Amino acid sequence: MTETLLEIDHLSVDYETGRGDLKALRDITFDVNKGEIVGIVGESGCGKSTLISSILRLTAPNTRFREGEIRFKGQDLLQASERHMRDLRGADMSIVFQDPMQTHNPVLTIGQQMLDIQHRSKQSKADKLAHAAKMLGAVGIPDPEARLKQYPHEFSGGMRQRIAIAMALMSEPDLLIADEPTTALDATLEVQIIERLQELQREFHCAILFISHHLGVIAELCDRVVVMYAGAVVESGDVREIFHDPKHPYTRRLIECDPGHIKERARVLPTIPGEVPDLANLPEGCIFRDRCDQAMSRCATEVPPLDQLKEGHHAACWLNHEEVTT
Amino acid sequence: MEKSRSELGQIVVGVARDPLGLMGLIIVGVIVFCAIFAYWIVPYDPIAMDIKSRLQGPSAAHLLGTDQLGRDTFSRVIAGGQVALKVALPAVFGAMAIGLTLGMIAGYGPKWLDNLLMLFFDTIRSFPTVMFALAVVALIGPSLQTVVFVVMATSIPTYGRVARTQTLTLRNSEFILAERSMGASMARILGVHMLPNIIGVLAVLAAMDIPTVIALEAGLSFLGLGVKPPTPSWGALLKDGYSLIRQTPWLVVGGGLPIILATLGFTFLGESLRDVVDPKLRKQR
Ligand SMILES: Nc1ncnc2c1ncn2[C@@H]1O[C@H](COP(=O)(O)OP(=O)(O)OP(=O)(O)O)[C@@H](O)[C@H]1O
Ligand code: SF4
Ligand SMILES: [Mg+2]
């Protein structure tokens, strides 16, 4: 039985800027079920961080929620009180950030920081420390008791990221958000972290919202994937299905460009030609049209809707529409 | 808490390795020792008069001679050190605590509160210290507490501004965002996560500020705005010595030398502290 944990429902978010409103997210809709791993892919600037900061309601001051709802366990987070959000953060939902070199307080030991994030717990200090050591052990930090006394700068990047994961999982949240947690690490460490996340997910049964611009990682880890382009969802569905039969030209290009997909490592990674449209000044029609090699005349004037092509597989491209109509 | 102890130990060792720092440490140590044990060190009661033996030069009985009332200058210098620290320490630490709190609130709180607090700091800073001291003395009269209050009030803005700048640079750092994403409240972020990042810089500032405050106390006492006679104070010694310089130079020496020594000692210590604390913070970031 699948139970929905997080529902993003027609969410539109703007940033107020000197050049006018920058439409960072437009009409985003997707769900995350309990215990499921959902990946979000998209190039830099497509709005992935905006989306997760909206879920946590830790947005920049110039953020404006224009439309839609973010429902967590059925409750709309955009209407929730600041107090309620604070109670959710680090308890029911938590996050691992991109850069492990920046996410820890440089002047406190790891033990002090892990004690601090258990501030809601009524346990004794010794119990809290034991719990912290157990969590460090769970993410594969050797000799955790001794390591608790060390400062962040005494750990390598990969270790720091694992510590960040341990901290995020400490309260056994229902939802773990990971914002490109492996981007700052090299490939072997990336594999280790991904494997560790898989193990931990099996142990803690939390849902994971995994953000990456690396399709190979998503394919490895996730059950479902949401492909974003310039602030909109262009395709979403089962990972295997999308990899074998992508229904949006952008997804297709992403798969072709993915480093994990290239057999012989090319010296220069193929990239998609063209630029992302200006979000403060959106073009008419399909947002991907400038870079799409299959564009038709209709694409210039009409925005393709995000249609359901099969059970659980959505795409926003007029090419599929012809398939559907004929 | 064993962390802060070893941290402190590391800092002391760092300061002692630096020759100037070691000198500062020794001078400050002697001053603090004399101030704490003044009661046992002084050979005479520093306010007991002995008209028969007034205005004497140095002798075995009176190491630094006596003043116009026959009081032992050496005893008054030692007791004056205690007064100087009684003013400087509460004033500096009070100013640091208040400035730190207000500065962190200004840096982390809403824009209007920041503007209000900055206006408050600028208002205080716009008064010249001596004018401010004159006004306060006129209102509540000269005393040790008055000097502490004046010195504290005039130093709050310095600490406040530094704390605010530090908070502003830290508030958008990723680890603070990470704490917020863990559900930390504002008080927790400021108290647990910002404070340890800021306190080192302010402690150095405080060490460098102590000689200024000692000089200020002496200056105010010299002007008759400081501690009331017959309480011994280095400034008061200087004042008495200044008018009696033709009769005996020993009062000026007794008042002036400790001020110079204290200033040098705390400045060396402060500068050495800054060098030890700063690169360490930089390395950790
Ligand atoms: N506070 C802000 N004010 C104005 N524009 C912003 C702000 N934050 C982000 N943007 C813009 O919004 C768009 C989406 O940014 P976002 O950070 O969500 O992208 P991203 O997908 O996370 O990118 P990356 O992969 O580089 O992290 C970008 O065009 C970015 O320049
Ligand atoms: S709608 Fe048209 S322009 Fe857009 S992706 Fe499909 S084919 Fe390309
Ligand atoms: Mg991002």
Interchain pair B193, A108: CB under 8 A: yes
In a domain, A192, yes or no: yes
Alpha-helical regions (H) of chain B: 2-17, 19-36, 38-41, 73-108, 111-126, 129-140, 144-171, 174-181, 186-188, 195-222, 234-243, 250-284
CB nearest to A90's CB, from B173, B183, B193: B183
Q: For B173-203, what is each residue's pLDDT tens digit?
A: 889 999 999 989 888 999 889 988 888 888 8
Q: Which residue has the tokens 């009081």?
A: B71
Q: Residue with the nearest Cα to atom 1 of ligand 2?
A: A317
Residue B3 has pLDDT above 50, yes or no: no
Average pLDDT over residues A66-82: 93
> Which residue did the predictor score with more confidence, A216 or B118?
B118
Categorize the per-residue pLDDT at B6 as very low, low, confident or very high, splitting at 50, 70 and 90.
Answer: low
Spell out the domain ranges in chain B.
Answer: 64-267
Q: How far is the CA of A43 from the centre of ligand 3 (A)?
A: 9
pLDDT for B96 beyond 90:
yes
- Average pLDDT (B6-10) is 72
Per DSSP, the residues of A183-229 read TTS-HHHHHHHHHHHHHHHHHH--EEEEEES-HHHHHHH-SEEEEEE
Instruction: Name every chain A residue with its beta carbon within 8 A of the beta carbon of B182.
Output: 89-90, 94, 117, 167
Distance CA B123, CA B115 (A): 12
Nearest CA to ligand 1 atom 18: A47
CA distances from A215 to A28, A39, A260 (A): 20, 9, 8
pLDDT at B5: 52
Which residue range forms the structural domain that includes residue A190?
Answer: 4-92+171-325
Average pLDDT of the residues of chain A: 88
Distance from C-alpha of B38 to C-alpha of A143, rounded to nearest angstrom: 52
Residues 124-183, chain B: which have Cβ within 8 Å of A? 173-175, 177-183
Instruction: Identify the nearest ligand to the CA of A295 by its number.
Output: 2
Asked: is B64-267 a CATH 1.10.3720.10 domain? The reply is: yes
| Nearest ligand to the C-alpha atom of residue A320 | 2
Confidence of residue B207 (pLDDT cuts 50, 70, 90): confident
Residue A263: is its pLDDT beyond 60?
Answer: no
A107–B281: do the CB atoms touch at under 8 Å?
Answer: yes
Which H or E run contains B249?
A: none
pLDDT of A73 above 90: yes
Q: If you measure from the C-alpha of residue A115 to the centroid of ligand 3, how many angstroms do you get, rounded to a whole number?
A: 28
What pLDDT sits at residue A94? 93
Which residues have a Cβ under 8 Å from the Cβ of B279 and sit 6 or more positions away? none
User: In Å, what is the CA distance from A21 to each residue of A37, A54, A76, A254?
Assistant: 32, 17, 24, 28
Q: What is the ipTM of this complex?
A: 0.83
Q: What pLDDT sits at residue A254?
A: 86
Q: Is residue A229 part of a domain?
A: yes
Which of A158-172, A301-315, B15-29, B150-164 comes out lowest in average pLDDT?
Answer: B15-29
Kindly state the percentage of chain A with pLDDT values over 90: 52
- For the cut 90, the answer to whether the pLDDT of residue B53 exceeds it is no
With beta carbons less than 8 A apart as the criterion, state whether A111 and A149 touch. yes
pLDDT of B2 = 43
Question: Is residue A90 less than 8 Å (CB to CB) from chain B?
Answer: yes
Average pLDDT over residues A99-128: 90
Q: Region B32-44: what's the mean pLDDT?
A: 78
Helix (H, G, I), strand (E, B) or coil at B285: coil
Which residue is closest to B198 within chain A, CA to CA?
A107
- A35-50 pLDDT, tens digit per residue, is 999 999 988 889 999 9
- Structure tokens belonging to residue A319: 């090419």
Q: Is A155 on the interface with B (CB under 8 A)?
A: no
Q: Which of A233, A254, A296 to mutate to test the pocket of ligand 2 (most atoms within 8 A of CB)?
A: A296
Whose CA is closest to B194, among B219, B175, B207, B212?
B175
pLDDT of residue B285: 41
- How big is chain A by its Cα radius of gyration, in Å? 21
DSSP assignment letter at B165: H
In this structure, which ligand is nearest to the CA of A25?
A: 1
Q: Which of A135, A133, A58 is nearest to A97 (CA)?
A: A58
Least confident of A215-229, B102-116, B228-242: B228-242
Residue predicted with more confidence, A140 or A15 = A15
- The confidence score (pLDDT) of residue B138 equals 85
A95 lies within 8 A of chain B by CB: yes
Maximal C-alpha separation, chain A:
68
Tally of domains in chain A: 1
Band of the pLDDT at A310, cuts 50, 70, 90? confident
Handedness of CA A209, A210, A213, A219 (dihedral sign): negative
Q: Measured from the CB, is residue A247 less than 6 Å from ligand 2? A: no
Helix extents (H) in A18-107: 48-56, 82-88
Q: Are B258 and B241 in contact (CB under 8 A)?
A: no
Backbone angles phi, psi at A237, to 5 degrees: 160, -170
Q: Does B4 touch chain A (CB under 8 A)?
A: no
Structural domain contains residue A249:
yes
Q: Is A60 in the pocket of ligand 1 (CB under 6 A)?
A: yes
What Rg, from alpha-carbon coordinates, does chain B have?
A: 22
Q: Which residues of A touch B7 (CB under 8 A)?
A: none
Mean pLDDT of A284-292: 90
In a domain, A311, yes or no: yes
Question: CATH number, domain at A43?
Answer: 3.40.50.300
Nearest alpha-carbon partner for A132 in A149, A156, A155: A149
CA distances B129 to B132, B202, B217, B220, B260, Å, are 5, 21, 11, 10, 21
User: What is d(CA A195, CA A217) in angstroms, rounded to the nearest whole number?
Assistant: 10
Q: Taking all residues of chain B, what is their mean pLDDT, rounded to a whole number?
A: 81
**Measured between alpha carbons, how far is A250 from A24 in angstroms, rounded to an integer?**
18
> pLDDT tens digit string along A227-238?
999 999 999 999
